[in-house]
Structure 1
């Protein structure tokens, strides 16, 4: 086995509010999120394959993450669909804002779980999602590891 891990980094801007929270994050606010996606697999050994030597083409990984996460969450305001923030969300949508209603509290921890599920579903069969790191600020982040979730 010649497993190799490769990582691609992404960034997006998003706003959110944590309903029921007892701190500042109960207010609508935003973050410049940074997402690191690490996959693991064996480099392609078929010399006739145009992707010879690659675990996965970085461009292919970029396409998956952009479609599943970045293009969806970038410049969106994320609310839990089961909170009174729905009224605010509806008003923002009426005014042309990009609003996402999710079925979880939009913390970094819950977002990284959502992202893992979406990315795993799109990876080729021979490639495994190894880990995700979602940075909310320079000093605060949530991490997901496949080895912790088997």
Structure 2
């Protein structure tokens, strides 16, 4: 098995709905995303000959995805009252609304699926909320 690994990070705020603890309050992280891709064989022709994929393409794809969330307020769809959302937007806060609870586990799946849709043979994505704690997603 051949593989590549790259990582990127972004700063963003979130809160956890229906959670009894500190994380129910708005707070931020420097999220670190580490993505792994694997293939049984290296490519046999073209510019990517003898590579899993072009490392630059993989690196740029992950960085583009994390850039979309950088300095955003990641919000679970329906978790805030419409008036609150309108007020935040009026104050020019940048919201990134997602259809899932904003846990590290769900963000790992989010990045995995986005890379997979871009054609990368993803095997695992880790999302770190802190330097020592991460969640991961693989199929």
Residues 20 and 26 of structure 1 are in contact (CA less than 8 Å); yes or no, is this contact kept in structure 2?
yes
Residue correspondences, number: 138
Counterpart residue number, 1:109: 105
Cα RMSD, aligned residues only: 1.6
**CA 1:15/1:142 → structure 2, altered by over 3 Å: closer, same or farther?**
same
User: Which whole-Å CA distance do the structure 1 matches of 2:63 and 2:105 have between them?
Assistant: 19
Task: Find the partner of 2:51 among 40, 51, 54.
Answer: 54
Counterpart residue number, 1:82: 78
- Runs of 4+ aligned structure 1 residues displaced above 6 Å come to none
Length-normalised TM-score, structure 1: 0.84
Length-normalised TM-score, structure 2: 0.90
**CA 1:131/1:83 → structure 2, altered by over 3 Å: closer, same or farther?**
same
**CA 1:20/1:112 → structure 2, altered by over 3 Å: closer, same or farther?**
same
Residues 79 and 89 of structure 1 are in contact (CA less than 8 Å); yes or no, is this contact kept in structure 2?
no
